[in-house]
Amino acid sequence: MAQLCEGRVAIVTGAARGIGREYALMLAEHGAKVVVNDFGGARDGTGGDPGPADEVAEEIRKAGGEAVANGADVSDFAQAKAMIDQAVDTFGKLDVVINNAGILRDRMLVNMTEEEWDAVIRVHLKGTFAPAHHAAAYWRDRSKAGEPVDARLINTSSVSGIYGNPGQTNYGAAKAGIGAFTIIAARELRRYGITVNAIAPGAFTRLTSDLREFSEEDQERSSPRHVAPIAVWLASEESKDVTGRMFESSGSTLAIAEGWHRGPSHEPVKDPTQMGAAVAEMMKTARKNAGMDGKDLD
Confidence grade of residue 204 (pLDDT, cut at 50, 70, 90): low
| pLDDT value for 223 | 84
- The yes-or-no verdict on residue 213 having pLDDT over 80 is no
For the chain, domains (ranges, CATH) are: 9-257 (3.40.50.720), 265-298 (no CATH)
User: Which is higher by pLDDT, 180 or 220?
Assistant: 180
Confidence grade of residue 61 (pLDDT, cut at 50, 70, 90): very high
Inter-axis angle of helices 127-144 and 169-189, nearest 10: 10
- How large is the average pLDDT for residues 151-161? 96
- The yes-or-no verdict on residue 212 having pLDDT over 90 is no
| pLDDT value for 50 | 75
Mean pLDDT is lowest, of 32-46, 104-118, 169-183, for 32-46
The dihedral of CA 221, 223, 226, 230: what is its sign? positive
- The yes-or-no verdict on residue 137 having pLDDT over 60 is yes
| pLDDT value for 106 | 92
- Report percent pLDDT > 90 for the chain: 84
Chain centroid offset of residue 45 CA: 17
User: Which is higher by pLDDT, 222 or 23?
Assistant: 23
Q: How far apart are the first and last CA of the chain?
A: 45
- The yes-or-no verdict on residue 231 having pLDDT over 80 is yes
| pLDDT value for 42 | 66
- How large is the average pLDDT for residues 61-70? 98
Length, in residues, of the chain: 298
Active-site residue 171, yes or no?
Answer: yes
- How large is the average pLDDT for residues 180-190? 98
Nearest Cα residue to 24 out of 59, 48, 51, 71: 59
**Active-site option among 157, 158, 160, 236:** 158
Judge whether 60 and 28 are in contact, CB under 8 Å.
yes
Helix (H, G, I), strand (E, B) or coil at 27: helix
| pLDDT value for 76 | 98
- How large is the average pLDDT for residues 154-164? 95
- The yes-or-no verdict on residue 57 having pLDDT over 90 is yes
Report the distance separating Cα 51 and Cα 5, nearest Å. 26
Could you write out the DSSP letters of every residue in 143-188? HHTT----EEEEEE--HIIIII-TTBHHHHHHHHHHHHHHHHHHHH
Q: For residue 27, how many other CB atoms are within 10 A of its CB?
A: 31
Judge whether 100 and 156 are in contact, CB under 8 Å.
yes
Helix (H, G, I), strand (E, B) or coil at 123: helix
Judge whether 70 and 36 are in contact, CB under 8 Å.
yes
- The yes-or-no verdict on residue 214 having pLDDT over 80 is no
- The yes-or-no verdict on residue 248 having pLDDT over 70 is yes
Q: Is 92 exposed, middle or buried (0-12, 13-18, 19+ CB in 10 A)?
A: exposed
**Active-site option among 23, 138, 163, 171:** 171
| pLDDT value for 200 | 96
Judge whether 9 and 91 are in contact, CB under 8 Å.
yes
Mean pLDDT is lowest, of 41-45, 94-98, 155-159, 206-210, for 206-210
Judge whether 170 and 112 are in contact, CB under 8 Å.
yes
Confidence grade of residue 216 (pLDDT, cut at 50, 70, 90): low
| pLDDT value for 275 | 98
| pLDDT value for 40 | 81
Report the distance separating Cα 173 and Cα 291, nearest Å. 16
Active-site residue 23, yes or no?
Answer: no
Which residues, at least 6 apart from 17, have a Cβ–Cβ distance to it below 8 Å?
A: 38, 52, 205, 206
Active-site residue 157, yes or no?
Answer: no
